[in-house]
Amino acid sequence: MSQQERWQLGGNAPEVYERYLVPAIFRPWAPILIAQAMLQAGERVLDVACGTGVVARLAAQHVGASGHVTGLDISDAMLALGQRRCVDLSGAGRASFIKADATALPFADSAFDVAVSIQVYEYVADLPTALVELHRVLRPGGRVLILDTDWDSIVWHATDTEQMGRLLAAWIERFADPYLPRTLARRLRDAGFQVDRRDVLVLLNPEYDPDTYSVANGELMADFAVTQGRLTRHEVDAWTQDLHRLGEEGRYFFSLNRYLFLAHR
Ligand SMILES: C[S@@+](CC[C@H](N)C(=O)[O-])C[C@H]1O[C@@H](n2cnc3c(N)ncnc32)[C@H](O)[C@@H]1O
């Protein structure tokens, strides 16, 4: 798969995702998300755009041998990582993976008790169709947990604020809706859901550390800005060096909000 195809899919380059983002974000957050979803033994769970399968794996462990998790994604590369992560559970019939689009779910009506969707709908252009599909495949009373970012919530210290602005402006072109959380409750209701809860998870990186989200994702952001022709390689290198220097001087700061929605059919 070419780099351009990866961006178009909305998936971060899977190997980068696996190497940096999974440890930086999902090790701490996945248990929080699973707790919020209140999974019960025996439940049938759908992970919409499961990516590398971190949440799918934890969900399968929570619903136990009598439950089942289905991981769905549009990217073969992501699905391969998810399948590898869950190979033991799949072998035991407790997890399965399928390639499909979030706007055309290949499942019967009421097939699931719970759905989770982490960092996905902000990439989906036809959100009304995706949410109606989600509603259809959940049983009446079935629950959904959605997490998405509002990219206006980013606070990232840089010496050259104009350049930082251009980099961020380039980055949000990846998303169908970079500000989805502010309208998601209304959209969920329009699709027939009842919204039960909204919350925020804050990604705070107050130090420069290559193993944190902001530094790891910064590499992807820099590459994307160059791919799009919005910044030159020279400019993104200067930006990267500036972040590193701010870190050395004890002046690094990054914060970003992700919004959690719990709803039911
Ligand atoms: C930022 S990743 C999140 C992956 C995973 N949910 C996680 O939190 O680790 C976005 C995922 O959405 C998938 N994706 C994007 N658009 C999709 C669509 N229309 N249908 C299904 N999957 C999609 C990508 O392949 C990618 O795996």
- 73-88: pLDDT as tens digits: 999 988 999 999 999 9
Measure the CA angle with vertex 74, ends 81 and 95; round to 5°.
50
Please give the structure tokens belonging to residue 176.
Answer: 């169908």
Residue 145 near ligand 1, beta carbon < 6 Å = no
Residue 101 lies in a domain: yes
Q: Does residue 180 belong to any structural domain of this protein?
A: yes
Q: What is the pLDDT of residue 22?
A: 72
pLDDT, residue 25, reads 74
Contact between residue 259 and residue 184 where contact means Cβ atoms under 8 Å apart:
yes
Q: Is the pLDDT of residue 111 over 80?
A: yes
Among 73, 146, 172, say which to mutate for ligand 1: greatest number of ligand atoms within 8 Å of CB. 73
Residue 170 domain-assigned (yes or no): no
What pLDDT is stored for residue 180 in this prediction? 98
Please tell me the pTM assigned to this model. Answer: 0.93
Q: What is the CATH number of the domain that holds 134?
A: 3.40.50.150
Handedness of CA 161, 166, 170, 173 (dihedral sign): positive
Ligand 1 neighbour 50 (Cβ under 6 A): yes
pLDDT in tens, 174-217: 899 999 999 999 999 999 999 999 999 999 999 999 888 899 88
Average pLDDT of 107-125? 97
Ligand 1 mean position, distance from CA 119 (Å): 7
Determine the structural domain holding residue 95 and report its residue range.
3-150+176-203+258-264
Please, what's the b/e burial string for 57-82 (b: 16 or more CB within 10 A of its CB; e: otherwise)? bbbbbbbeeebbbbbbbbbebbbebb
Q: Has residue 221 been placed in a domain?
A: no
79: CA distance to ligand 1 center in Å? 10
Within-domain flag for 29: yes
pLDDT band at 12 (very low <50, low <70, confident <90, very high): low
pLDDT of residue 8: 46
Q: How far apart are CA 2 and CA 20, in angstroms?
A: 20
Both structure tokens of 262: 């719990």
More confidently predicted of 14 and 213: 213
**Is 158 within a domain?**
no
Domain count, the chain: 1
Task: Classify residue 119: in a domain, yes or no.
Answer: yes
Q: Do the domain assignments include residue 159?
A: no
Q: What is the mean pLDDT of the chain?
A: 91
Confidence of residue 13 (pLDDT cuts 50, 70, 90): low
Residue 49: CB within 6 Å of ligand 1?
A: yes
Alpha helices, DSSP H only, in 155-257? Answer: 161-171, 181-190, 213-227, 233-248
